[in-house]
């Protein structure tokens, strides 16, 4: 069985991979996430996913496949990263309030010889958010390390009035597309349930 490594510290991605029954080992992959001058959001997020996979592969011993992923929020063509402080988080939530934005998640896999990647775009609409709500949401601590300053799988779900696309991609890993990529490296889903299927 091919060993899969996840080059991500995200608990959301760990939970999503576990959800589809794919065993994995976490490896570190520290990279510079600064966008290049004039870089399009789709190219940016896919470049980071590939860079994480390659960096993770450099940290493993022996054979294996490394999965890297990256998620970014885009409003009017502008990348919204993780807020640096409360003021930036409140400004982001104010900009997103009552509007649609895109969430781009890229996934990349490499075995050292072959690399494959893809990018999934979802559209999210927020209802209007009051300043008091935004402040209380920041005080919860949830927005600190989230692209765009919110988490759809957490408390931030109350702001989402509409989603078009992949929910799991907005959380951090598009499961349908990830399963297809894993299949191309002979890594099946539902491995933890194979015994129960056989009964």
pLDDT tens, N- to C-terminus, the chain (199 residues): 789 999 998 999 999 999 999 999 999 998 999 999 999 999 999 999 999 999 999 999 889 999 999 999 999 999 999 999 999 999 999 999 999 999 999 999 999 999 999 999 999 999 999 999 999 999 999 999 899 999 999 999 999 999 999 999 999 999 999 999 999 999 999 985 544 444 4
Rounded distance between C-alpha atoms, residue 153 and residue 140, angstroms: 14
Is residue 95 part of the annotated active site? The answer reads: no
Question: Residue 193: what pLDDT?
Answer: 53
Residue 15 has, within 13 A of its CA and on its CB side, a CA count of: 8
Question: Residue 1: what pLDDT?
Answer: 73
29's CB contacts (< 8 A; 6+ apart) are 7, 8, 51, 52, 53, 55, 56, 59, 68
Rounded distance between C-alpha atoms, residue 183 and residue 45, angstroms: 22
Q: Exposed, middle or buried by CB within 10 Å (0-12, 13-18, 19+), for 22?
A: buried
Question: Residue 110: what pLDDT?
Answer: 98
Question: Residue 61: what pLDDT?
Answer: 87
Q: What angle, 0 to 180 degrees and rounded to 10, lies between the N-to-C axes of helices 175-184 and 11-19?
A: 70
Closest by CA to 76, choosing from 100, 108, 111, 46, is: 100
Candidates 70, 85, 132, 145; catalytic one: 70
Rounded distance between C-alpha atoms, residue 135 and residue 33, angstroms: 27
- The model carries a pTM of 0.92
């Amino acid at each position: 069985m091919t060993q899969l490594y996840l080059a991500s510290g995200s608990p959301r991605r760990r939970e999503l991979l576990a959800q589809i029954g794919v065993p994995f080992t976490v490896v570190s992959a520290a990279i510079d996430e600064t966008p290049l001058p004039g870089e399009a959001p789709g190219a940016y997020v896919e470049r980071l996913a590939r860079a994480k996979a390659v960096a993770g592969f450099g940290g493993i011993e022996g054979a294996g496949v490394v999965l890297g992923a990256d998620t970014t929020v885009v409003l009017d063509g502008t990348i919204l990263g993780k807020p640096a402080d409360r003021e930036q988080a409140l400004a982001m939530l104010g900009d997103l309030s009552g509007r649609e934005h895109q969430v781009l998640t890229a996934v990349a896999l490499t075995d050292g010889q072959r690399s494959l990647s893809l990018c999934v775009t979802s559209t999210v609409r927020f209802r209007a958010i009051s300043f008091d709500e935004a402040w209380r949401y920041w005080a919860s601590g949830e927005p600190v390390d989230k692209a765009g300053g919110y988490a759809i799988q957490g408390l931030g779900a109350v702001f989402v009035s509409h989603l078009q696309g992949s929910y799991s991609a907005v959380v951090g890993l598009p499961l349908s597309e990830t399963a297809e990529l894993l299949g191309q490296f002979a890594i099946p889903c539902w491995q933890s349930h194979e015994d129960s299927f056989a009964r």
